[in-house]
Structure formats: C-alpha cells, structure tokens
Amino acid sequence: MEALSHGQVVDRAEIARAVTAAPLRYGDGARQVFEASGKTTYTEAGSSTHGTWSVQDGRFSSFWPPSYRAWYDLRWIVEDGAAVGLTFVDQARGSRFDGRYER
C-alpha cells in the first residue's frame, strides 16, 4: 500500500477496510462501530441507534431507518504517516465531520 497523506481521498477499493478498521470516536464524544456485515451502531450520550452502511457507485452510503440516507466522500486523517481516522464529507448537505480510530 502506498503512503497516505492527510486529506487524501480513500480509494473506493479501501472504503470497507477503512470504516471497519476500528471504532470511530467523534469530536462530540459520540462513538460509531461499522461491522463488516454492513451494520453500524452510533452511540451518543448513552443512547444507541442502528443503521446500515454500504459502498454504492464508489461512495460510502449510510442508511438510518426509517428513511434517512446519505452519501459521503471519505478522506484519510493522517498523523506521522499513519492513518488515525476518517473525514466524512457530505457534498449534498455541506456537512463534514471527523472520526478518529479508537486504538
């Protein structure tokens, strides 16, 4: 695998590996676990919600019942040459958030 740089787009072939590498912790303290099966659990302030994720047309997609779906471009967060997390960028809604791997 080639060296990663901060802000580099996650290659579509690497999306599944990137999101399932470890649980992600967000700046507000929320935690999210992505399972290889396509299930995801988001926990904030002791309350959990469950959804699904997939890769569609080379982009990361998440679905939260009953009807919320979003597509994100993923970018690596890299420090000292190592991937330490992911930035999710929703071009349609203009939102962007960082998740750091729990190690």
* Its pTM surpasses 0.85: yes
Is the confidence at residue 1, as pLDDT, over 60? Answer: no
Which CATH fold would you assign to the domain 12-101? Lipocalin (2.40.128)
Q: Give residue 2's pLDDT.
A: 62
| Average pLDDT over every residue of 85-89 | 97
Q: Is 67 helix (H, G, I), strand (E, B) or coil?
A: coil
> Per residue in 41-64, pLDDT tens?
999 999 999 999 999 888 999 999
Q: Is 72 helix (H, G, I), strand (E, B) or coil?
A: strand
| Segments making up each domain of the chain, as ranges | 12-101
